[in-house]
């Protein structure tokens, strides 16, 4: 079983890779804003993805951002993103099912307490 921290890190990798696949010329600041994390957190994540060989940074003269860099998923990164997607989806489906069960239990408790108030 994977730790909660490992799952969070994997989710962050997945989200970063997903955003960069769609918009490779996002700045680190833009990435941070979209992900709701700090710029230093994004920088750390990008370095980790590059060290793993899943992402590379290219100088691109026509990029919208002032530094002229784009982030490109490597072939290995594309394959890993597919695996991350499958694991992310599996975790989210499990969370969804657990939430559904909890909601049903709460509704049932509510009905017992207040009659048929919750549907």
Residue 96 maps to a domain: no
Q: What is the pLDDT of residue 78?
A: 94
Question: Alpha-carbon distance 17 to 84, whole Å?
Answer: 10
Residue 100 maps to a domain: no
Span 72-113, pLDDT tens digits: 999 999 999 999 999 999 999 999 999 999 999 998 888 777
Q: Indicate the number of domains in the chain.
A: 1
Q: What is the pLDDT of residue 115?
A: 67
> Whole-model pTM?
0.74
Residue 105 maps to a domain: no
Task: List the CATH number of the domain containing 83.
Answer: 1.10.10.10
Domain of 63 in residue numbering reads as 4-91
Average pLDDT of the segment spanning 23-47: 93
Residue 15 maps to a domain: yes
Residue 114 maps to a domain: no
Residue 41 maps to a domain: yes
């Amino acid at each position: 079983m994977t730790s909660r921290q490992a799952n969070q890190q994997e989710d962050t990798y997945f989200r970063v890779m997903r955003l960069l696949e769609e918009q490779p010329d996002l700045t680190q600041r833009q990435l941070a804003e979209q992900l709701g994390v700090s710029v230093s957190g994004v920088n750390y994540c990008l370095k980790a993805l590059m060290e793993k060989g899943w992402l590379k940074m290219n100088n691109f003269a026509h990029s919208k951002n002032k530094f002229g860099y784009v982030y490109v998923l490597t072939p290995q990164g594309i394959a890993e993103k597919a695996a991350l997607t499958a694991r992310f989806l599996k975790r989210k489906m499990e969370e969804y099912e657990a939430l559904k069960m909890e909601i049903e239990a709460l509704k049932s408790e509510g009905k017992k307490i207040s009659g048929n108030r919750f549907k």
